C-alpha cells in the first residue's frame, strides 16, 4: 500500500505541472493575440 501513496503523489505532480503551463500559455496567447494589436509598436 505505501507504493500506492507514492504513485498517487507522482500522478498529482504529472497533472499539476502541465495544467499550470496550460494556464500560462492561455494568458500569454491572450496577451499576444488580443492586447498586442491594440497597442502596436511605433
Grid cell for residue 30 = 491572450
pLDDT of residue 3: 62
pTM: 0.69
Cell matching residue 20: 499550470
pLDDT for 2 equals 63
Residue 37 has a pLDDT of 84
What three-state secondary structure class fits 22? helix
Q: From CA 34, how far away is CA 28, in angstroms rounded?
A: 10
Q: What is the chain's percent helix, strand, coil content, to nearest 5? A: 90, 0, 10
Q: pLDDT at position 39, please?
A: 81
pLDDT at position 18 is: 97
pLDDT tens for 1-42 read 666 667 778 888 899 999 999 999 999 999 999 988 888 877
Amino acid at each position: 500500500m505505501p507504493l500506492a501513496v507514492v504513485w498517487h503523489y507522482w500522478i498529482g505532480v504529472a497533472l499539476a505541472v502541465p495544467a499550470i503551463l496550460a494556464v500560462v500559455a492561455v494568458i500569454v496567447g491572450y496577451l499576444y493575440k488580443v492586447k498586442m494589436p491594440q497597442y502596436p509598436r511605433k
